Amino acid sequence: MEVSFSKEIEALRLGSGDTFHGEGILAITKGLLQSGVAYVGGYQGAPVSHLLDVMVQAKAYMDELGVHVEACSNEASAAAMLGASIHYPLRGAVTWKSIVGTNVAADALSNLSSPGVKGGVLIVVGEDYGEGASVIQERTHAYALKSSMCLLDPRPDLGVMVNMVEHGFRLSETSNMPCMMELRIRTCHVRGSFECKDNLPPPVSTRALIEEPAGFDYMRLAHPPVTFRHEKLKGEERLPAARRYIAEHKLNELMPGRHADLGIVVQGGLYNALIRSLQQFGLADAFGATDIPLLVLNVTYPLVPEEVADFCAGKRAVLVVEEGQPEYIEQEIATLLRRRDIQTALHGCDMLPPAGELGVEALAGGLALFVQRHLPNHAQDSAQGWLSGNRDRRAAVAAKLETPLPNRPPSFCIGCPERPVFSALKLAQQDSGPVHIAADIGCHAFGTFEPFSMGHSILGYGMSLASRAGVSPMMQRRVLSIMGDGGFWHNGLLTGVQSALFNGDDAVLMIFKNGYTSATGTQDIISTPDDEVKAHAVDKQQSLVDKNQTIESTLKGLGVQWMRTVHTYDVDKMRKTLNEAFTSSFNGLKVIIAEGECQLERQRRIKPWIASLLRKGERVVRVKYGVDEDVCNGDHACIRLSGCPTLTIKDNPDPLKVDPVAVVIDGCVGCGLCGANAHAATLCPSFYRAEVVQNPKWHERLLHSLQGAIVRALQPA
């Protein structure tokens, strides 16, 4: 991994008397070390990637502390690591992106929660929920409910977050329940400070080994008949113990207000947005002092019935601020109030949006209804003016536009090695006819957007080959499945390749081999080329190749007989290879490995190298592509076939022509796709390739001067 976290690693070394300044997710990482965590694992994904990335790069410091860190192949293998805490007093933490990662880890989590844990367990999940999310709209809360795991949702304040990490381990040990901590994007990236403590080397660690294994205890297995006893323990011992700890240590925060006959119960992670929304109504100040009492749930499961009942008793109305649906917290509060015959009016999804992220504006809309009903004399002019002003500004902008703004979907990076494959696939379908394409999670999912618009389904990371199993037997043409090398190692090898080979399926699989799990932050995987290869692969013509051919060797070992490896930028060869796969007489799994290094990692590697050459005054050649505007006919087939952000249009300089011409703008990395497409699709010959030479040799300067003189002499006066 080329991204350096050296500054973040230094922040992990801070101790008592030091003040930490930085992002929330790094504060959580520091909190783990202050809590004496013994082992950490996980699978990267926004918004919690930094936790694992920093710890992996801090291996030397982790070894000093005796902390074992493991980058896992998927979330299931990370969750399975927590089995160490079933028998031994080891504090363990794992992390991944939720809800998709929690789905993958569900089997291990259920089998962990049944026998319970002896050492504290903390599962840090990135709760990527809302309109800006990159995953399906579900919540982690359901898993906490069904498997009886405590669910922490800390208020986005670094001191509170770190404190909840330490309490999370203790809560887990006290109740024998695993604890999950959900962190939204804003929580992970909120910046602040807290007073540090010294990091605690775990009492049992890689530097203080366990001498003898634990004795056999059938009660520690998630296996009938003891699972029936486990289920009773959850209700009779574990949940009551968790509730006692939560109440005794005041993990949930009670904030008083002058309108004591009203109240708001809020998930901890939504506290900042709620306070900002209350400010619009003049019901809170910038420092968090509120006029309406708040019960901030830093632990959203289990709720403490007495705590909630005491807060609601005697109040005219209470608003539950809960993000998403179903409204688990609201339903539970309604049940416990009814059982105690507390008649406080309860509001929630009747006033707040039942789906989507509860940002400040969405919360203000719900608060307006709550205040209007229960504080009718409170002035709302400021808040209503702010809300209507937002609506008016949107309407004014829309009115100024003659036509709606075009959609701007995300796209591949400039020079991405995966874009040429979709260009080749477009061309191949002109030859073989349209094909059903099973897409997958990863950078290549951008192929579902224009100008490619390819992909009929996305059903999970590495699941594309498995997802076509019900389609391909019913389809006249062969079906294409697409996955990345990250998805291949995460899930695709077993759920897809093994299943297709076992069943003798006539399938076509495209594996993008760019060397990293790029979509999650370009982390290394087992097929990432070693440092020696990276050090030498600096010239643009030299591919970053996995010398061990790890993916190819694995597929051959499983019995794949039809396999082709093609460099992604060779569009014409890729087109022919796809056509061969679609029309081959071979009946079985056909695998095309599209090899081309992630452009982000390539640029991170070669830019410092080029800068060092320039500082030394050495000769450097940079390739630049362009379009001859006198030749361009304004057809723009090149743009429709490429989709590169640096290939766009400009006004035609010829006054007799009205169609705009194509142009390559600054930012081009010289990947050569535009030229390859022009050749493969037989487009107009308007593209040219130029070499920009910096620090040229003396004979190059002389030749350039002579060429310039000849050109000037040939030009008309």
User: Quick count: other Cβ atoms within 10 Å of Cβ 690?
Assistant: 11
Q: How far is CA 671 from CA 179, 602, 625, 656, in A?
A: 47, 11, 9, 33
Q: Please check the confidence at residue 262 and state whether its pLDDT lies above 90.
A: yes
**How confident is the model over 686-706, as a mean pLDDT?**
89
Q: Please check the confidence at residue 537 and state whether its pLDDT lies above 60.
A: no
| Residue 64 CB contacts under 8 Å (≥ 6 apart), including other chains | none
Indicate the burial class of 492 (C-beta count within 10 angstroms; 0-12, 13-18, 19 or more).
Answer: buried
> What are the tens digits of pLDDT across the range 22-46?
999 999 999 999 999 999 999 998 8
Q: Give residue 53's pLDDT.
A: 93
**How confident is the model over 443-461, as a mean pLDDT?**
93
According to DSSP, the residues that pair with 714 across neighbouring strands are none
The answer to whether 297 touches 329, Cβ cutoff 8 Å, is: yes
Q: Give residue 320's pLDDT.
A: 98
> What are the tens digits of pLDDT across the range 612-662?
989 999 998 888 888 988 888 888 888 889 889 899 888 888 887 888 999
Q: Give residue 543's pLDDT.
A: 57
Token reading at 149 = 């795991």
What kind and span of H or E run contains 296? Answer: strand 294-297
Q: How far apart are CA 241 and CA 228, in angstroms?
A: 19
**How confident is the model over 489-510, as a mean pLDDT?**
95
Question: CA Rg, the chain, in Å?
Answer: 30
The answer to whether 154 touches 120, Cβ cutoff 8 Å, is: no
What kind and span of H or E run contains 154? Answer: none
Q: Give residue 504's pLDDT.
A: 94
| Residue 560 CB contacts under 8 Å (≥ 6 apart), including other chains | 497, 501, 589, 591
Kindly indicate the confidence band of residue 683, based on its pLDDT and cuts at 50, 70 and 90: confident
Tell me the three state secondary structure of residue 374.
helix
| Residue 185 CB contacts under 8 Å (≥ 6 apart), including other chains | 46, 47, 126, 128, 132
**How confident is the model over 438-462, as a mean pLDDT?**
93
Q: How far apart are CA 433 and CA 579, in angstroms?
A: 10
**How confident is the model over 660-681, as a mean pLDDT?**
88
Tell me the three state secondary structure of residue 264.
strand
Q: How far apart are CA 72 and CA 281, in angstroms?
A: 47
Kindly report the CA angle at 572 between 568 and 573, in degrees rounded to 5?
65
Angle 571-583/673-680 helices, nearest 10 degrees?
A: 50
The dihedral built from the CA positions of residue 158, 160, 162 and 165, taken in this order, carries a sign that is: negative
Tell me the three state secondary structure of residue 119.
coil
What is the 8-class DSSP label of residue 290? B
Kindly report the CA angle at 392 between 389 and 396, in degrees rounded to 5?
140
Give the residue among 367, 351, 357, 348 at the shortest CA–CA distance from 276: 367
Token reading at 309 = 């009942």
The dihedral built from the CA positions of residue 567, 490, 95 and 82, taken in this order, carries a sign that is: negative
Q: Please check the confidence at residue 278 and state whether its pLDDT lies above 60.
A: yes
The answer to whether 591 touches 485, Cβ cutoff 8 Å, is: no
Q: Give residue 1's pLDDT.
A: 43
Torsion of CA 131, 132, 133, 139, to 10 degrees: -40
The answer to whether 598 touches 516, Cβ cutoff 8 Å, is: yes
> What are the tens digits of pLDDT across the range 165-174?
999 999 999 9
> What are the tens digits of pLDDT across the range 3-28?
678 899 999 999 999 999 999 999 99
Query: 8: alpha, beta or left, given left = phi > 0 and alpha = psi -120 to 50?
Result: alpha
Kindly indicate the confidence band of residue 105, based on its pLDDT and cuts at 50, 70 and 90: very high
The answer to whether 632 touches 648, Cβ cutoff 8 Å, is: no
What kind and span of H or E run contains 620? Answer: strand 620-627
Q: Please check the confidence at residue 541 and state whether its pLDDT lies above 60.
A: no
Q: How far apart are CA 320 and CA 560, in angstroms?
A: 56
**How confident is the model over 696-713, as a mean pLDDT?**
89
The answer to whether 664 touches 693, Cβ cutoff 8 Å, is: no
The dihedral built from the CA positions of residue 35, 38, 44 and 45, taken in this order, carries a sign that is: negative
Q: Please check the confidence at residue 717 and state whether its pLDDT lies above 70.
A: no
Q: What percent of the chain has pLDDT over 70?
A: 97
Q: Please check the confidence at residue 533 and state whether its pLDDT lies above 70.
A: no
The answer to whether 642 touches 708, Cβ cutoff 8 Å, is: no
Q: How far apart are CA 562 and CA 552, in angstroms?
A: 11
Range in 179-183, 236-240, 278-282, 598-602 the model is least confident about: 598-602
Kindly indicate the confidence band of residue 2, based on its pLDDT and cuts at 50, 70 and 90: low
> In the chain, how many H helices and how many E strands?
28, 25
| Residue 266 CB contacts under 8 Å (≥ 6 apart), including other chains | 274, 294, 295, 296, 297, 320, 321
> What are the tens digits of pLDDT across the range 336-368?
999 999 999 999 999 999 888 999 999 999 999
Mean pLDDT (the chain, rounded) = 92
Q: Give residue 478's pLDDT.
A: 96
The answer to whether 507 touches 472, Cβ cutoff 8 Å, is: yes
Give the residue among 430, 441, 502 at the shortest CA–CA distance from 467: 441
Tell me what percent of the chain is helix, strand and coil, each rounded to the nearest 5.
45, 15, 40
Token reading at 100 = 């998709």
Angle 49-57/24-34 helices, nearest 10 degrees?
A: 50
The dihedral built from the CA positions of residue 308, 311, 312 and 317, taken in this order, carries a sign that is: negative
Kindly indicate the confidence band of residue 182, based on its pLDDT and cuts at 50, 70 and 90: very high
Q: How far apart are CA 579 and CA 427, in angstroms?
A: 9
**How confident is the model over 371-376, as a mean pLDDT?**
94
Q: Please check the confidence at residue 208 and state whether its pLDDT lies above 90.
A: yes
Kindly report the CA angle at 369 between 367 and 375, in degrees rounded to 5?
85
Torsion of CA 68, 73, 79, 83, to 10 degrees: -60
> What are the tens digits of pLDDT across the range 542-579?
556 666 689 999 999 999 999 999 999 999 999 999 99
Q: Give residue 527's pLDDT.
A: 87
According to DSSP, the residues that pair with 565 across neighbouring strands are 593
Kindly indicate the confidence band of residue 473, based on its pLDDT and cuts at 50, 70 and 90: very high
Angle 305-312/239-248 helices, nearest 10 degrees?
A: 50
Tell me the three state secondary structure of residue 416.
coil
Kindly report the CA angle at 457 between 451 and 459, in degrees rounded to 5?
130
